[in-house]
Structures are given as C-alpha cells and as structure tokens.
Amino acid sequence: MGLVYVEGVVKHGGVSVKTRFLVDSGATYTVLTKSVWERLGLKPLGEMEFILADGTVIKRSISEAVIELPGYGERHTPVVLGAEEDENLLGIVTLEIFGLILDPFKRELRPIRALMKAEKRRP
C-alpha cells in the first residue's frame, strides 16, 4: 500500500516551520524532529514512555504546538519532542483533532464521520 506523506506547517510563538509528515496510523502522537522543535522554541511539558514497533521502550519529552494542514485549517495538538534520528510523524491524536482519517487504499487523508451520543430529551 505504500507510505503516505503530507505537507504541513508547525507553529509556536510566532515561528512557523514547513514540515513533511509521514502519516502513521500506528503512532498515537505526532512526532517532531529535534531540528523542527528547536527552531520553534518548544519546551518540554513532561515526559512519556513509548513502545516502538520492535518492542523497544523509549522516553521522549512532550509539548504542544499548532499544526496547519492545507485545506483543513490549523489545530492545537500535543507533540512528541523527537530526537534528530526520529521522523516527523502525524499521529492519530492529531488526525482525530482535525477530524481526519487515513484512507490506506487511496493513500490520502479524508474527513471522518464521527459518532456522538445525543441526550434524550425528557418531556
């Protein structure tokens, strides 16, 4: 099926960085390479453990930024402050914040039809 990449812009504190993301439906959070988050001036807000596909457990700092995706606007989202060897990944949490899903067959992002439970009205 192949890999899917999208172009976006990451913003923080008046700084914008054009970024190419691998859309990773297996990644919970969006990951920024060290060069991107340092240019933005992002600071760690905490630390989390992550399990890689091979089972390795690593620790990374987390922060927050605004991501703009052409045609979908911009949203505030949590991000992982990656190492330089990490790849810029667009994870599921960010996709859900945008209301998007990866269509692996068409290799594109598309809007999702989200579920919502409505309250029953009482007479």
DSSP state at residue 82: -
HSE (side-chain half, CA atoms, 13 Å) at 33: 13
What local confidence, expressed as pLDDT, does residue 18 receive?
98
Domains of the chain: 5-111 (2.40.70.10)
Beta strands in the chain (DSSP E): 5-12, 15-23, 30-32, 46-51, 57-69, 73-81, 89-90, 100-103, 108-111
For residue 62 the two structure tokens come to 């987390």
Output the pTM of the full model.
0.88
Give residue-wise pLDDT tens across range 25-63.
889 999 999 999 999 999 999 999 999 889 999 999 999
The H-assigned helical ranges of the chain are: 34-40, 92-98
β-bridge pairing 46-51 and 30-32:
unpaired
**In which residue are the tokens 């089972």 written?**
55
pLDDT band of residue 1 (cuts 50, 70, 90) is low
pLDDT band of residue 122 (cuts 50, 70, 90) is low
What local confidence, expressed as pLDDT, does residue 73 receive?
97
Give residue-wise pLDDT tens across range 74-96.
999 999 999 989 999 999 999 99
pLDDT at 119 over 80: no
User: What's the one-letter identity of residue 28?
Assistant: T
